[in-house]
Chains A and B, each alone.
Chain A
Amino acid sequence: MTEKKPKSLLYLDGVSVSFDGFKALNSLSFIVEPGELRAIIGPNGAGKTTMMDIITGKTRPDEGEVFFKGDIDLTKKDEAEIAQLGIGRKFQKPTVFENHTVWDNLELALNRSRGVFATLFYRLTGEDKDRIEEILATVRLTARRDDLAANLSHGQKQWLEIGMLLAQEPELLLVDEPVAGMTDAETAETAILLREIAKTRSVVVVEHDMGFVRDLGVKVTCLAEGSVLAEGSIDFVSNDPKVIENYLGR
């Protein structure tokens, strides 16, 4: 590793983790630069979701280093702390608060003080209102602001979740299969949305949909069996014989 730590936004080195003897990650190393949009592909069980679990503090690695912004050790922090540091995460299955309205979902996600008493005595300010309106417009949900999230369509839930991540104002956004189950039109729009978002922050997208990855047109990392198989442009990676054998070819 010739790269210097301080430069990168996210830095993983030699990360391994195993569950009941099964090595989910095997000495994985991976770097994300500030402002970068990165796509990750790989077969099922390659360790994509586990990698996200480790970055967001859900799973502790058995060995290896994980640093954020150069010197913040993420392995010592829990989910909430990491989220407050500015790492947002979107789940594979859309996860929104179904018993809350779209508006409340965004209000909860808003990057404000999150302590017990701060929330207890929280009042919606004009500034916060504007911000929520803005995000609603971005994710095209203004019309449904007062509906329960449970009543949204699948695609709308995906977008609401992305909207919540925007409200969170993260510096790094981890997005797990954002277009699963979306129509083609929605998929294309999502790609535009993500590119737009990546202008102001780093985004890591995990996706199976090669067309979508191609649409994004960014650097691609291919994982397999818990470590990096290949990295580079989509064309470079999809022509790599190992990748073809492990993933694309099947």
Chain B
Amino acid sequence: MYRIIQSVLVALLLLAAVPTGLRAEDGLRDLVNALGEAKLSEVDEHIAALAKTGDPKVVPVLEALGEGNLYARKADGQVFLTKESGSNLTLTDPVSGESAGEAPKASLSKVKVNNSVRRAVRTALGSLTLLSPDRNARLKAVQSVLQSPNADALGAIENALAAEKDGEVRAMLEQARATTLIISDRPTEEKKEAVRLLKENGGREALSILSSALGSADETLKPDIEAALASIEQTQALWAAGQNVWYGLSLGSVLLLAAIGLAITFGVMGIINMAHGEMVMLGAYTTFLVQEVLRTSFPALFDWSLAIALPLAFIVTGTVGLAMERGVIRFLYGRPLETLLATWGISLILQQSVRSIFGPTNREVGNPSWMSGAFELGGLTITWNRLWIIVFALAVFAGLLFLLKKTPMGLQMRAVTQNRRMASSMGIRTPWVDALTFALGSGIAGMAGVALSQIDNVSPNLGQGYIIDSFMVVVFGGVGNLWGTLVGAFSLGILNKFLEPYAGAVLGKILVLVLIILFIQKRPRGLFALKGRAVEA
């Protein structure tokens, strides 16, 4: 999306550039070429000089600079906009905008950028595109002005404000004006007004700008700023509690995903499945493979990679689970502790297989665009990937619940786990049901792996990190009870996140473990234990 806007914008600007005189062009070319010779520390000044020309042709040059696509020809010091094409670079003349052919990489040298250059580019671009005819470009411009406020830009902002019609952009411009005004040399009265505006809008950026202004503010302004700071901090503190709940929910959803497959294989079937984590890992590697294929063959489908990976992961890990059940576990029913040993052995084999096939290092699994970034909800920062993972975890849970409670397959599964002999004598093919149940649990673990690949390492060790937590969740919630797993996961998640700010990440985790141990003393069969006369033999 952004790319499209950008190219439209460039085209528009190039059209607008046609009538400008040739002499200006020469000056511009010199300025651009100067970038190629400048040292890193001098680039900032050149950018400022370029921005001062106000020439719209500067925009693509600066953008290319910021993205590291500006190269100087070694032979004559000419600077070009470039685009990768194989081992060559396609050159575009920065002033005329015309193609300048291709050149091998070795004949060009990159115009170096670092963070401060990128910052300067952002500031310059911000004030240059404030008057752009494209609404989204203006919005982006205001945002970058807000991110790196600069007193020099105040004039440009006020000009833009005068011309702006769009409500949202206007509101942001107002805030940008207030932000820049505070650090400018305008009279105190105007500043007071700006402080008031910032106080109303609140937010982290306001906090940042106000506290930096506090040092240089004069005596009459100081109390205003301090009051504003106090009020913003207060609301921030309130939001922080909400943020904690969100983090807790998010951690809980990760725990739920990791544990839900185990709730089937361990909770329902009673198999102490130490290879559960490896099923999660296999799911994550499936995602990696899917993305790898898409990246090389169908790059356009990349955003669909997770949707494609989900059923595949289910099938892959379900099949592995099926093979495990038929090959090993079915001989061990009624000996739960021995399943622990066998599955531990299997987990070692699976880990080492993955290590041999894919190598021991992390594999890159990208976030599709709809899972990248964050949005603000009031004072909450909500990242898309976490949000989708919560949604996904709940969907998996609901689906599983439906499968178990409402379908004939689920009925058979429950029948077999409750009374194998009775079920068998009623004509249910118990071995088949066992195998399918185990495959289902494994398949769900694989789907969890697809989601977890979005936030964690994809490495052979992935599963190890989740296995203990998963067992804790299932046991804490109550073995054999899906709702217990749900409540267990979310309460452990939230508890952990509320302890973390006070006790730190490590102590917080220790405390949670100790609380689980104590809780089991109170309720030896977990949160949602099945009560009843359950006569012991």
Contact = CB atoms under 8 A, between A and B. Distances in A.
A53 B537 contact: no
Contact of B532 (A20, A91, A92): A20
B533 A24 contact: yes
A47 to B, nearest CB: 10
A93 interface: yes
A151 interface: no
Nearest to A45: B533
A124 B426 CA distance: 52
Interface in B175-217: none
A50 interface: yes
B357 interface: no
Interface size class of B (residues with CB under 8 A): under 10
B535 A20 contact: no
Interface in B478-537: 531-533, 535, 537
Contacts of A53: 533
B533 A49 contact: yes
Interface string A68-86: 0000000000000000000
Contacts of A24: 533
Interface residues of A, number: 11
A123 B113 CA distance: 88
Contacts, number: 15
Contacts of A49: 533, 535
A91 B537 CA distance: 8
A50 B537 CA distance: 14
A49 B533 CA distance: 9
B135 to A, nearest CB: 62
Interface string A30-56: 000000000000000000011001000
Contacts of A19: 531-533
A92 B533 contact: no
B537 A95 contact: yes
B523 to A, nearest CB: 15
Contact of B531 (A20, A50, A95): A20
Q: Tell which of B531, B532, B533 has the most Cβ of chain A within 10 Å.
A: B533
A95 B537 CA distance: 7
A53 B534 CA distance: 11
Contact of A93 (B531, B532, B533, B537): B537
Interface in A1-28: 19-20, 24
Contacts of B537: 91, 93, 95
A2 B531 CA distance: 37
B341 to A, nearest CB: 21
A223 to B, nearest CB: 15
B532 A50 contact: no
Interface in B125-164: none
Contacts of B533: 19, 24, 49-50, 53, 59
A92 B535 contact: yes
Interface in B402-443: none
Contacts of A95: 537
A49 B535 CA distance: 9
B162 to A, nearest CB: 72
B141 to A, nearest CB: 64
Contacts of B532: 19-20
Contacts of A93: 537
A176 B537 CA distance: 13
A239 B533 CA distance: 31
A60 B301 CA distance: 63
Nearest to A52: B535
B211 to A, nearest CB: 58
Contacts of B535: 49, 92
A97 to B, nearest CB: 12
Nearest to B537: A93
Contacts of B531: 19-20
A89 to B, nearest CB: 12
A134 B537 CA distance: 28
B464 to A, nearest CB: 37
Nearest to A21: B531
Nearest to A94: B537
A80 B178 CA distance: 78
A108 B531 CA distance: 31
Q: Tell which of B531, B532, B535, B537 has the most Cβ of chain A within 10 Å.
A: B535
A24 B537 CA distance: 20
Interface string A93-111: 1010000000000000000
15 contacts: A19-B531, A19-B532, A19-B533, A20-B531, A20-B532, A24-B533, A49-B533, A49-B535, A50-B533, A53-B533, A59-B533, A91-B537, A92-B535, A93-B537, A95-B537
5 closest cross-chain pairs (CB), A and B: A19-B532, A20-B531, A93-B537, A19-B531, A19-B533
Given A19-B532, A95-B537, 7 more contacts: A19-B531, A20-B532, A49-B533, A49-B535, A59-B533, A91-B537, A93-B537
